[in-house]
Chains A and B, each alone.
Chain A
Amino acid sequence: MNLSSRLQKLKPAAITDKREKTNENRNAFFALVRKEFTDNITSWRIIILLAIITLTCFGSLYTAVTTIQDAIDKSSENGQQIGKDAYLFLKLFTVSDGTLPNFVTFVTFLGPLLGIALGFDAINSERNKGTLSRLMSQPIPRDYVLNAKFIGALLLNIVLFFSLGFLVMALGILILGIPPTFEEFARVFCFLTLCIAYIAFWLNLGILFSVLFRQAATSALSSIAAWLFFSVFYNMIVQMAAKSMLSSGSITSQEQAINAQGTILNFMRLSPNYLFSESTTTLLSPTVRSLGPMTTRQTSGAIPSPLPLDQSLLLIWPQLTGLIAATLICFAIAYMLFMRQEIRSN
């Protein structure tokens, strides 16, 4: 009797003990994430980047709004009707009058920069400041540090892009007076998620370099080099290769031409920038029906109308998964390296 009552007393104690342990870990993790987030939003380089992104975003919104208003004024029909037909609302993100690039271009350009700025000194600055060894001597698993860095920066991205995207939408509604349809809203939502995935890739590349290189400057320059390579040079290299592959001498049949075109496209798709631009185009311009070459036979029976959202999503599914896979690969390599690395700074 005595023993059994004792056992009963012991049991819940053991359970709560276990629970406390897991809670403890989680608390420490959230504390780390909170610290990361605070560090990010209070650091000057991020504040400056955020200011630039916000300004350009409103700049592009302004040009888009004026372009759309002009178009509506010119047409004699009911403006609201046009808006519904042509997915006018999405044009807020893609249209510009030529003086300023549109929203999508800005994101393609500045997004990676933001990702890199958030990630490039994640680990090596802690190491150089001497805080890493102090952190590591606390009773937390080693991967908490890396995970918290990633989550903290990702959280900032999510907050930033959703607030920016929704702000643009809200201002669009106020200024243009066209409410978005549910599909348009869903498309914008998907687009914002895509932006976050894209930036997460650059963020993880930055984190990877921060684990790899001891100097923050080295890792920043390497990340920027990678970004420049993919946004400028990769295109050129593939174009050059394409020229020789598509030269009329080597291609004799239609099938060959399609194959060659496909190969080039696949090479292009190795670049995260290309994946991102393909996906955004599909998402924000529902009239895009295919991302590869199409024969006239394939298009002959098609109804000339925009694709529904699920079909657009289906079209970019490989691109999206590819982008996320690249992100995960970067993170996995950084994770493995970090777990094996020596903690001492010298």
Chain B
Amino acid sequence: MTQPIIELNDITKQYDDQFAVDHLSLSIFKGEVYGLLGPNGAGKTTAILTMLGLSEPTSGQVRVAGINSTRQPIEVKRKVGYLPDDLGFYHNMTGLENLLFTAEMNNIPKNTAKKRADDLLQKVYLNESADKKTGKYSRGMKQRLGLADVLMKNPEVIILDEPTLGIDPEGVRELLKMIRNLNELENITVLLSSHHLHQVQQICDRAGIFVQGTLLAEGDIPSLAEQLLVDDTFVTTVSADPIDADLMQKISLIDGVNKVDHDKSYLEVYCSRDVTPQISKTVIDSGSALLQISNKNFGLDEIYHRYFEGREQHESV
């Protein structure tokens, strides 16, 4: 196992008597893309700020690249690039000038800085707008410039806070592809926070679901499903003709099936294990024509939605 590059150890951040982050422990390993998922106000940004030493945890310890973030934030910030969610640039400076200013903050020699800035602008497809004032940039362009800005210091880790916020779908795809490329080609560790779960799903190796300051589940996408959805891990979609109450009754009697939903021309069968063969057999035996049968793959959206749906029900009971 590789060494964790970001290590949060029992972090707590308290505002008045409310916990923004509640005993969070998290390890992110070198070279992975980690997604921190959670609704607005879950404490994602606070957790990220403690990693950068911009916010002091009430208790617990943060180590990034082996350095204590709370004690030596400047050393950490030398190695970590951070893209904030409310990203902004100096409007009266051009994109290139903004990047060069960041380079100065990192004490990169002028020649190197110019070369790197040109390279990065090329990489984020902004080379044509390099000499335009950033005040005239669109949201998507700003976000891409932000990515270039983060990369100016040649970081080991990049932390992206809601990088896809407010960008059109095509822009999101481009941005995610860039992030993936960075990870694959340059071996940069990426931590990104989001509430757009399907986007995270596209590029993350592992993800953690973070709600109200605590980490509910952590792992790769399939294992997240298992952790969160204890009862109905599998959903099989069955399209058959005709569908009647008798068929539904029969399917629901199969061992392992918990629930059968009828939705227009197909059935959704919730089961605790994979019973696709039994279902197809039942349908054919009952005399209906089996048009299609498929296992639904859980996206994070689904997991997330179902988790919260379940929770609300629990709470109301």
Q: Residue A84 at the B interface, CB < 8 A?
A: no
**Residues B88 and A131 in contact, CB atoms below 8 Å apart:** yes
- For residue B77, CB closer than 8 A to chain A, the reply is yes
Binds B, one of A23-31, A45-53, A159-167: A23-31
Q: Find out whether the CB atom of B149 lies under 8 angstroms from the CB atom of A134.
A: yes
If A139-B74, A140-B74, A342-B55 touch, does A134 touch B107 (CB 8 Å cutoff)?
no
Contacting residues, chain A, for B81 (C-beta < 8 A)? 137
A293 at interface, CB cutoff 8 A: no
- Asked if B92 and A28 make an inter-chain contact with CB atoms under 8 angstroms apart, the answer reads no
Contact at A134–B88, with CB atoms within 8 Å?
Answer: yes
Q: What residues of B have a CB within 8 angstroms of the CB of A177 in the complex?
A: none
Q: Are A134 and B84 in contact (CB under 8 A)?
A: yes
Give a binary string over B90-111; 1 marks a CB under 8 Å from any A CB, 0 the rest. 1110000000011011110000
Q: Are B84 and A137 in contact (CB under 8 A)?
A: yes
Chain A: minimal CB distance from B27 (Å)? 22
**B54 proximal to A (CB < 8 A):** yes
* Chain A 119-158 interface mask (CB, 8 Å, partner B; 1/0): 0000000000111011111111100000000000000000
A131:B82 contact, CB within 8 angstroms: no
User: Residue B45 contacts which of A31, A42, A344 (CB distance < 8 angstroms)?
Assistant: A344
A24 to B103, CA, bound (A): 11
1/0 per residue A152-193: CB within 8 Å of B? 000000000000000000000000000000000000000000
Tell me the bound Cα distance from A131 to B84 in angstroms.
9
For A342, give the chain B residue with the smallest CB separation.
Answer: B55
> Which of chain B's residues 210-248 have a Cβ closer than 8 Å to chain A?
none
The listed residue (A39, A130, A139) touching B77 by CB distance below 8 A is A139
**Residue A35 is within 8 A (CB to CB) of chain B in the complex:** yes
Beta-carbon contacts of A2-46 to B below 8 Å, as 1s and 0s? 000000000000000000000110011001100100010010000
Number of A-B residue pairs, CB cutoff 8 Å, is 76
Chain A residues, Cβ within 8 Å of B86? 130, 133, 344-346
Interface flag for A221 (CB, 8 Å): no
Whether A28 touches B105, Cβ cut-off 8 Å, given contacts A133-B86, A138-B77, A140-B74, is: yes
- Is the CB of B87 closer than 8 A to any CB of chain A? yes
Residues A138 and B106 in contact, CB atoms below 8 Å apart: yes
Indicate if A343 sits at the interface (CB-CB under 8 A). Answer: yes
Contacts of A342 in B (CB 8 A): 55
Q: Which A-chain residue is minimally distant from B150 (CB atoms)?
A: A137
User: By the criterion CB–CB under 8 Å, are B84 and A130 in contact?
Assistant: yes
Closest to B45 in A: A344
B105 touches A140 (CB 8 A): yes
Report the bound CA distance from A274 to B77 in whole Å.
47
Pick the residue among B55, B75, B88, B89 that contacts A343 (CB under 8 A). Answer: B55
Tell me, yes or no, whether B52 is within 8 Å of chain A by CB. Answer: yes
Q: How far is the CA of A27 from the CA of B107 in the complex (A)?
A: 7
Q: Kindly report which residue of chain B lies nearest to residue A31, judged by CB atoms.
A: B104
Q: How large is the interface on A (under 10, 10 to 19, 20 to 34, 35 or more residues)?
A: 20 to 34
Closest residue of B by beta carbon distance from A135: B105
Contact assessment for B101 and A31 in the assembled complex, using a CB-CB cutoff below 8 Å: yes
- A23 CA / B105 CA spacing, docked (Å): 12
How far is A138 from B102 in the complex, measured between Cα atoms in Å?
8
A136 B54 Cβ-Cβ under 8 A: yes
- A346: B residues at CB distance < 8 A: 86
Q: With the chains together, A323 CA to B30 CA distance in Å? A: 55
Least distance between A129 CB and chain B CB atoms (Å)? 4
* Contacting pair B101 A137 (CB below 8 A): no
Chain A 316-346 per-residue mask, 1 if CB under 8 angstroms from chain B, else 0: 0000000000000000000000000011111
Q: In the complex, are the beta carbons of A137 and B54 less than 8 A apart?
A: yes
Q: With the chains together, A161 CA to B149 CA distance in Å? A: 38
| B88 with A129: CB separation less than 8 A | yes
CB-CB under 8 A from B173, the residues of chain A are: none
Q: Is the CB of A129 within 8 A of B91?
A: yes
* Nearest Cβ on chain A to B93's Cβ, whole angstroms: 8
The answer, among A23, A134, A139, A345, for a CB contact under 8 Å with B106, is: A139
Q: How far apart sit A31 and B84, CA to CA, in the bound complex (Å)?
A: 22
When the two chains form their complex, are residues A130 and B88 in contact, meaning their CB atoms are under 8 A apart?
yes
Please give, as numbers and ranges, the residues of chain B lying within 8 Å of A345 by CB-CB distance. Answer: 86
Question: Inside 8 A of B75's CB, which chain A residues have their CB?
Answer: 139
A343 touches B102 (CB 8 A): no
Assembly CA distance A141 to B75 (angstroms): 10
Closest to A343 in B: B54
Task: Give Cα A210 to B17, complex, Å.
Answer: 28
Does B203 sit at the interface, judged by CB under 8 A? no
- Contact A130:B87 (CB < 8 A) given known A139-B77, A139-B78: yes
How many whole Å from B65's CB to the nearest CB in chain A? 13
19 interchain pairs (CB within 8 A)? A28-B105, A28-B107, A31-B101, A32-B105, A42-B92, A130-B86, A130-B87, A131-B90, A133-B54, A133-B82, A134-B84, A134-B149, A136-B54, A137-B52, A139-B74, A139-B153, A344-B45, A344-B84, A346-B86
Report the 10 A-B pairs with minimum CB-CB distance, sorted nearest first.
Answer: A130-B88, A137-B82, A31-B104, A138-B105, A24-B107, A133-B84, A129-B88, A139-B77, A130-B86, A139-B78
